[in-house]
Protein backbone atom coordinates (compact mmCIF):
# COMPACT_ATOMS: atom_id res chain seq x y z
CA UNK A 1 0.00 0.00 0.00
CA UNK A 2 1.24 3.51 -0.82
CA UNK A 3 0.96 5.69 2.30
CA UNK A 4 -0.14 9.22 1.35
CA UNK A 5 1.83 12.06 2.99
CA UNK A 6 -0.81 14.66 3.89
CA UNK A 7 -0.72 18.11 5.47
CA UNK A 8 -3.21 20.57 6.91
CA UNK A 9 -4.25 21.39 3.32
CA UNK A 10 -5.47 17.82 2.69
CA UNK A 11 -7.99 17.38 5.50
CA UNK A 12 -10.85 16.40 3.19
CA UNK A 13 -8.69 13.56 1.83
CA UNK A 14 -7.84 12.60 5.41
CA UNK A 15 -11.49 12.58 6.53
CA UNK A 16 -12.38 10.60 3.42
CA UNK A 17 -9.86 7.87 4.30
CA UNK A 18 -11.61 7.49 7.68
CA UNK A 19 -15.12 7.46 6.19
CA UNK A 20 -14.10 4.83 3.60
CA UNK A 21 -12.87 2.47 6.34
CA UNK A 22 -9.15 3.17 5.87
CA UNK A 23 -6.30 3.75 8.34
CA UNK A 24 -5.00 7.26 8.96
CA UNK A 25 -1.99 8.54 10.92
CA UNK A 26 -3.29 11.46 12.97
CA UNK A 27 -1.36 14.13 14.86
CA UNK A 28 -2.60 14.71 18.41
CA UNK A 29 -1.16 16.90 21.16
CA UNK A 30 0.11 13.77 23.00
CA UNK A 31 1.49 11.35 20.39
CA UNK A 32 0.58 10.39 16.81
CA UNK A 33 -2.40 8.05 16.62
CA UNK A 34 -3.40 5.26 14.21
CA UNK A 35 -7.00 6.18 13.48
CA UNK A 36 -9.99 4.41 11.97
CA UNK A 37 -13.75 4.91 12.02
CA UNK A 38 -14.62 3.70 15.52
CA UNK A 39 -18.06 2.51 14.43
CA UNK A 40 -16.68 0.30 11.63
CA UNK A 41 -15.54 -3.05 13.08
CA UNK A 42 -13.68 -4.11 9.92
CA UNK A 43 -11.71 -0.85 9.85
CA UNK A 44 -10.86 -1.21 13.54
CA UNK A 45 -9.64 -4.80 12.95
CA UNK A 46 -7.07 -3.36 10.55
CA UNK A 47 -5.63 -1.21 13.35
CA UNK A 48 -4.78 -4.36 15.31
CA UNK A 49 -3.21 -5.95 12.22
CA UNK A 50 -1.09 -2.90 11.32
CA UNK A 51 0.24 -2.57 14.89
CA UNK A 52 0.56 -6.27 15.69
CA UNK A 53 -1.54 -5.40 18.76
CA UNK A 54 -2.95 -8.11 21.04
CA UNK A 55 -6.72 -8.42 20.57
CA UNK A 56 -7.40 -8.08 24.30
CA UNK A 57 -6.07 -4.50 24.40
CA UNK A 58 -8.94 -2.01 23.94
CA UNK A 59 -8.79 1.28 21.99
CA UNK A 60 -9.70 4.85 22.91
CA UNK A 61 -12.52 6.65 21.04
CA UNK A 62 -11.69 10.24 20.03
CA UNK A 63 -14.58 12.69 19.88
CA UNK A 64 -14.87 16.44 19.17
CA UNK A 65 -16.63 17.43 22.41
CA UNK A 66 -18.25 16.15 25.61
CA UNK A 67 -21.62 16.51 23.87
CA UNK A 68 -20.86 13.26 22.05
CA UNK A 69 -20.39 11.30 25.30
CA UNK A 70 -24.05 10.17 25.66
CA UNK A 71 -23.97 8.71 22.13
CA UNK A 72 -21.43 6.08 23.17
CA UNK A 73 -21.61 5.97 26.99
CA UNK A 74 -24.27 5.44 29.67
CA UNK A 75 -24.43 6.03 33.45
CA UNK A 76 -22.14 9.01 32.88
CA UNK A 77 -21.24 10.43 36.32
CA UNK A 78 -21.15 14.20 36.96
CA UNK A 79 -17.38 13.84 37.45
CA UNK A 80 -17.05 13.16 33.72
CA UNK A 81 -18.58 16.50 32.79
CA UNK A 82 -16.59 18.25 35.48
CA UNK A 83 -13.33 16.84 34.08
CA UNK A 84 -14.40 17.58 30.49
CA UNK A 85 -15.10 21.17 31.48
CA UNK A 86 -11.61 21.57 32.95
CA UNK A 87 -9.40 19.42 30.74
CA UNK A 88 -11.07 18.89 27.35
CA UNK A 89 -9.99 19.33 24.69
CA UNK A 90 -6.75 17.94 26.09
CA UNK A 91 -4.66 14.95 27.17
CA UNK A 92 -7.24 13.15 29.32
CA UNK A 93 -9.03 9.84 28.63
CA UNK A 94 -12.00 8.83 30.78
CA UNK A 95 -13.13 5.23 31.20
CA UNK A 96 -16.95 5.13 31.19
CA UNK A 97 -19.72 2.54 30.76
CA UNK A 98 -20.20 1.87 27.06
CA UNK A 99 -23.37 1.66 25.02
CA UNK A 100 -23.98 -1.43 22.83
CA UNK A 101 -23.46 0.73 19.75
CA UNK A 102 -19.69 0.69 20.37
CA UNK A 103 -18.26 -2.33 18.53
CA UNK A 104 -16.75 -5.10 20.71
CA UNK A 105 -13.51 -4.91 18.77
CA UNK A 106 -12.97 -1.33 20.06
CA UNK A 107 -13.42 -2.25 23.73
CA UNK A 108 -11.91 -5.75 23.52
CA UNK A 109 -15.25 -6.97 24.83
CA UNK A 110 -15.14 -4.86 28.03
CA UNK A 111 -18.34 -3.15 29.23
CA UNK A 112 -16.42 0.15 29.41
CA UNK A 113 -14.89 2.43 26.80
CA UNK A 114 -12.07 5.01 26.90
CA UNK A 115 -13.21 8.45 25.69
CA UNK A 116 -10.91 11.32 24.75
CA UNK A 117 -11.36 14.75 23.17
CA UNK A 118 -7.99 15.72 21.66
CA UNK A 119 -6.69 19.29 21.45
CA UNK A 120 -4.58 19.29 18.26
CA UNK A 121 -6.38 21.60 15.79
CA UNK A 122 -5.75 19.35 12.75
CA UNK A 123 -6.96 16.29 14.64
CA UNK A 124 -10.11 18.12 15.71
CA UNK A 125 -10.80 19.26 12.17
CA UNK A 126 -10.28 15.74 10.77
CA UNK A 127 -12.76 14.24 13.28
CA UNK A 128 -15.21 17.06 12.58
CA UNK A 129 -15.07 16.52 8.81
CA UNK A 130 -15.23 12.71 9.11
CA UNK A 131 -18.26 13.04 11.41
CA UNK A 132 -17.47 9.77 13.22
CA UNK A 133 -15.73 8.92 16.49
CA UNK A 134 -12.14 7.90 15.73
CA UNK A 135 -10.68 4.80 17.39
CA UNK A 136 -6.95 5.41 17.73
CA UNK A 137 -4.12 3.80 19.64
CA UNK A 138 -0.64 5.31 19.53
CA UNK A 139 0.81 4.97 16.02
CA UNK A 140 3.75 2.69 16.88
CA UNK A 141 4.23 -1.01 16.19
CA UNK A 142 3.08 -2.76 19.37
CA UNK A 143 5.84 -2.68 22.00
CA UNK A 144 7.87 0.15 20.45
CA UNK A 145 8.05 3.72 21.83
CA UNK A 146 5.12 5.90 20.73
CA UNK A 147 5.74 8.29 17.79
CA UNK A 148 5.86 12.02 18.47
CA UNK A 149 6.55 13.05 14.87
CA UNK A 150 5.12 11.95 11.52
CA UNK A 151 8.57 10.64 10.54
CA UNK A 152 8.70 8.40 13.63
CA UNK A 153 5.25 7.00 12.84
CA UNK A 154 6.30 6.32 9.22
CA UNK A 155 9.27 4.27 10.50
CA UNK A 156 6.70 1.80 11.84
CA UNK A 157 3.70 2.28 9.53
CA UNK A 158 4.91 3.25 6.03
CA UNK A 159 3.11 0.98 3.56
CA UNK A 160 0.65 -0.30 6.19
CA UNK A 161 -1.72 2.70 6.36
CA UNK A 162 -3.58 4.74 3.75
CA UNK A 163 -2.21 8.11 4.80
CA UNK A 164 -0.68 10.23 7.53
CA UNK A 165 -1.30 13.89 8.32
CA UNK A 166 1.86 15.73 9.38
CA UNK A 167 0.88 18.10 12.18
CA UNK A 168 4.40 18.78 13.44
CA UNK A 169 6.00 17.49 16.64
CA UNK A 170 3.59 16.65 19.49
CA UNK A 171 3.30 19.37 22.16
CA UNK A 172 2.88 17.03 25.16
CA UNK A 173 4.96 14.06 24.01
CA UNK A 174 3.54 11.33 26.29
CA UNK A 175 0.10 9.74 25.94
CA UNK A 176 -3.06 10.97 27.64
CA UNK A 177 -3.78 10.45 31.31
CA UNK A 178 -6.33 7.63 31.76
CA UNK A 179 -8.77 7.88 34.67
CA UNK A 180 -11.38 5.20 35.38
CA UNK A 181 -14.65 6.85 36.44
CA UNK A 182 -16.56 3.55 36.75
CA UNK A 183 -15.02 2.83 40.18
CA UNK A 184 -15.10 4.67 43.52
CA UNK A 185 -12.84 6.47 44.14
CA UNK A 186 -11.81 7.26 40.55
CA UNK A 187 -8.60 5.48 39.65
CA UNK A 188 -5.58 6.65 37.65
CA UNK A 189 -4.74 3.87 35.17
CA UNK A 190 -2.02 5.68 33.20
CA UNK A 191 -0.29 8.97 34.09
CA UNK A 192 -0.04 11.54 31.28
CA UNK A 193 -0.40 15.16 30.30
CA UNK A 194 -3.07 15.94 32.92
CA UNK A 195 -1.34 15.38 36.26
CA UNK A 196 -2.48 13.35 39.27
CA UNK A 197 -2.34 16.59 41.30
CA UNK A 198 -4.74 18.24 38.82
CA UNK A 199 -7.14 15.27 38.99
CA UNK A 200 -7.11 15.32 42.80
CA UNK A 201 -7.73 19.08 42.84
CA UNK A 202 -10.79 18.50 40.64
CA UNK A 203 -12.16 15.25 42.12
CA UNK A 204 -10.80 14.85 45.66
CA UNK A 205 -9.61 11.30 46.28
CA UNK A 206 -8.07 9.54 43.26
CA UNK A 207 -6.51 6.07 43.61
CA UNK A 208 -3.43 5.06 41.63
CA UNK A 209 -3.53 1.67 39.92
CA UNK A 210 -0.57 -0.49 40.94
CA UNK A 211 0.31 -1.05 37.26
CA UNK A 212 1.47 2.59 37.17
CA UNK A 213 4.33 2.05 39.59
CA UNK A 214 5.37 -1.59 39.40
CA UNK A 215 5.79 -4.55 37.09
CA UNK A 216 2.67 -6.70 36.72
CA UNK A 217 3.26 -10.35 37.55
CA UNK A 218 2.09 -13.21 35.32
CA UNK A 219 -1.63 -13.76 35.91
CA UNK A 220 -2.25 -10.22 37.20
CA UNK A 221 -4.89 -8.20 35.35
CA UNK A 222 -4.41 -4.42 35.47
CA UNK A 223 -7.56 -2.40 34.74
CA UNK A 224 -5.94 -0.91 31.62
CA UNK A 225 -5.07 -4.11 29.74
CA UNK A 226 -2.29 -2.30 27.84
CA UNK A 227 -0.38 -1.70 31.06
CA UNK A 228 0.57 -5.37 31.33
CA UNK A 229 2.51 -5.52 28.08
CA UNK A 230 6.23 -4.81 27.64
CA UNK A 231 6.13 -1.35 26.19
CA UNK A 232 8.12 1.58 24.88
CA UNK A 233 11.24 -0.60 24.85
CA UNK A 234 14.21 -0.06 22.57
CA UNK A 235 16.09 -3.23 21.50
CA UNK A 236 18.86 -2.73 24.08
CA UNK A 237 17.92 -3.26 27.76
CA UNK A 238 17.38 -0.08 29.77
CA UNK A 239 18.37 0.64 33.38
CA UNK A 240 16.75 3.67 35.05
CA UNK A 241 18.82 5.46 37.70
CA UNK A 242 16.68 7.51 40.10
CA UNK A 243 17.73 10.00 42.75
CA UNK A 244 19.24 13.48 42.93
CA UNK A 245 20.27 14.28 39.32
CA UNK A 246 23.96 14.89 40.03
CA UNK A 247 24.30 11.68 42.05
CA UNK A 248 22.42 9.65 39.40
CA UNK A 249 24.63 11.01 36.62
CA UNK A 250 27.75 10.23 38.64
CA UNK A 251 26.49 6.65 39.27
CA UNK A 252 26.02 6.14 35.53
CA UNK A 253 29.47 7.58 34.75
CA UNK A 254 31.08 5.24 37.27
CA UNK A 255 29.33 2.14 35.87
CA UNK A 256 29.55 2.96 32.15
CA UNK A 257 31.19 0.34 29.94
CA UNK A 258 32.19 0.47 26.25
CA UNK A 259 29.08 -0.20 24.12
CA UNK A 260 26.71 1.49 26.60
CA UNK A 261 24.43 4.41 25.72
CA UNK A 262 23.09 7.13 28.01
CA UNK A 263 19.90 9.18 28.33
CA UNK A 264 20.67 12.13 30.58
CA UNK A 265 19.62 15.63 31.55
CA UNK A 266 21.38 18.37 29.54
CA UNK A 267 23.61 19.50 32.43
CA UNK A 268 25.32 16.10 32.65
CA UNK A 269 26.08 15.49 28.96
CA UNK A 270 29.72 16.65 29.46
CA UNK A 271 30.27 13.64 31.78
CA UNK A 272 29.90 11.26 28.81
CA UNK A 273 32.27 12.35 26.00
CA UNK A 274 32.18 10.08 22.92
CA UNK A 275 29.32 8.01 24.33
CA UNK A 276 26.08 7.43 22.32
CA UNK A 277 23.92 9.96 24.10
CA UNK A 278 20.40 11.37 24.06
CA UNK A 279 19.62 14.49 26.11
CA UNK A 280 16.21 14.67 27.80
CA UNK A 281 16.33 18.44 28.34
CA UNK A 282 17.29 20.45 31.43
CA UNK A 283 16.78 18.55 34.73
CA UNK A 284 14.32 21.25 35.84
CA UNK A 285 12.24 21.27 32.61
CA UNK A 286 10.02 18.19 32.95
CA UNK A 287 7.57 19.16 30.14
CA UNK A 288 10.58 19.22 27.78
CA UNK A 289 11.60 15.77 29.08
CA UNK A 290 8.08 14.53 28.26
CA UNK A 291 8.41 15.88 24.69
CA UNK A 292 11.78 14.16 24.18
CA UNK A 293 11.52 10.84 26.02
CA UNK A 294 10.08 8.70 23.20
CA UNK A 295 12.43 10.08 20.53
CA UNK A 296 15.35 9.42 22.89
CA UNK A 297 14.29 5.78 23.35
CA UNK A 298 13.67 5.34 19.59
CA UNK A 299 17.03 6.82 18.60
CA UNK A 300 19.01 3.97 20.16
CA UNK A 301 17.46 1.43 17.78
CA UNK A 302 19.55 3.05 15.03
CA UNK A 303 22.77 2.51 17.04
CA UNK A 304 24.63 -0.60 18.18
CA UNK A 305 24.49 0.09 21.92
CA UNK A 306 24.22 -3.02 24.09
CA UNK A 307 22.77 -1.36 27.21
CA UNK A 308 21.13 2.00 27.93
CA UNK A 309 21.37 3.95 31.19
CA UNK A 310 18.66 6.56 31.77
CA UNK A 311 18.25 9.45 34.17
CA UNK A 312 14.68 10.00 35.26
CA UNK A 313 12.67 12.86 36.84
CA UNK A 314 10.86 12.36 40.15
CA UNK A 315 7.13 11.68 40.37
CA UNK A 316 5.78 15.21 40.68
CA UNK A 317 3.48 16.64 38.00
CA UNK A 318 4.11 15.29 34.52
CA UNK A 319 7.28 13.69 35.96
CA UNK A 320 5.07 10.75 37.00
CA UNK A 321 4.25 10.11 33.31
CA UNK A 322 7.87 10.47 32.12
CA UNK A 323 9.09 8.17 34.91
CA UNK A 324 6.34 5.64 34.11
CA UNK A 325 7.37 5.47 30.41
CA UNK A 326 11.07 5.13 31.28
CA UNK A 327 10.33 2.52 33.97
CA UNK A 328 8.21 0.52 31.54
CA UNK A 329 10.92 0.78 28.85
CA UNK A 330 13.29 -0.63 31.51
CA UNK A 331 10.88 -3.39 32.57
CA UNK A 332 11.00 -1.63 35.98
CA UNK A 333 14.75 -2.27 36.25
CA UNK A 334 15.42 0.73 38.50
CA UNK A 335 18.44 1.69 40.61
CA UNK A 336 17.86 4.19 43.40
CA UNK A 337 20.96 6.23 44.36
186 counts as binding ligand TXA under rule CB under 6 A: no
Q: What Cα–Cα distance (Å) separates residue 38 from each residue in 21, 128, 159, 167, 203?
A: 9, 14, 22, 21, 29
169 counts as binding ligand TXA under rule CB under 6 A: no
Distance CA 269, CA 266 (A): 6
Q: Check if the beta carbon of residue 33 is closer than 8 Å to that of residue 25.
A: yes
Range in contact with ligand TXA (rule: CB under 6 A) among 73-81, 107-115, 197-205, 272-280: 107-115
Q: Per-residue b/e over 37-76, b at no fewer than 16 CB within 10 Å?
A: bbbbeebbebbbebbebeeebbbbbbbbebebbeebbeeb
Strands (E), 220-280: 238-242, 260-264, 277-279
| Residue nearest ligand TXA, CB atom distance | 226
Site for ligand TXA in 308-337 (CB under 6 A): none
The CB-of-248 to ligand TXA minimum distance in angstroms stands at 28
Distance CA 116, CA 113 (A): 10
- Of 138 and 141, which has the nearer Cβ to Mg ion? 138
93 counts as binding ligand TXA under rule CB under 6 A: yes
**Could you write out the DSSP letters of every residue in 75-131?**
S--HHHHHHHHHH-SSSEEEEEEEPTTS-HHHHTT-SEEEEE----HHHHHHHHHHT
Nearest residue to 57 (alpha-carbon basis) of 209, 196, 231 = 231
The CB-of-183 to ligand TXA minimum distance in angstroms stands at 11
Q: Per-residue b/e over 294-313, b at no fewer than 16 CB within 10 Å?
A: bbbbbbbeeeebebbbbbbb
Range in contact with ligand TXA (rule: CB under 6 A) among 9-17, 72-80, 124-132, 173-181: 173-181
- Of 3 and 138, which has the nearer Cβ to Mg ion? 138
Helical (H) or strand (E) element with 307: strand 307-311
Range in contact with ligand TXA (rule: CB under 6 A) among 29-37, 72-80, 153-161, 259-267: 29-37
Range in contact with ligand TXA (rule: CB under 6 A) among 80-88, 224-232, 299-307, 326-334: 224-232
Distance CA 289, CA 56 (A): 31
37 counts as binding ligand TXA under rule CB under 6 A: no
**Residue 286, contacted partner among Mg ion, ligand TXA, none, CB below 5-8 A by kind:** none
130 counts as binding ligand TXA under rule CB under 6 A: no
- Of 222 and 237, which has the nearer Cβ to ligand TXA? 222
The CB-of-60 to ligand TXA minimum distance in angstroms stands at 5
116 counts as binding ligand TXA under rule CB under 6 A: yes
Site size for ligand TXA (CB under 6 A): 30
198 counts as binding Mg ion under rule CB under 5 A: no
Among 37, 138, 149, 176, binds Mg ion (CB under 5 A): 138
Binding site for ligand TXA (CB under 6 A): 28, 30-31, 33, 57-60, 91, 93, 95, 107, 110, 112-114, 116, 118, 136-138, 175-176, 178, 189, 223-227
Amino acid sequence: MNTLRLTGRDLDTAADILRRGGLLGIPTETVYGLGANGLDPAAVEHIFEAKGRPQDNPLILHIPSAQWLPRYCEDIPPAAYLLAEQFWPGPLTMILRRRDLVPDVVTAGLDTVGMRCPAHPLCREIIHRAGVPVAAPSGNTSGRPSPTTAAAMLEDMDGKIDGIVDGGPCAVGVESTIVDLTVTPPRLLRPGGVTLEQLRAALGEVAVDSAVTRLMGAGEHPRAPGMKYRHYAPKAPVTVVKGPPAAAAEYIRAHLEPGDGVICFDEYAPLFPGCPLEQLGPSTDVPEQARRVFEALRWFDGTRVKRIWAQCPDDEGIGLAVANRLNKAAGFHIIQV
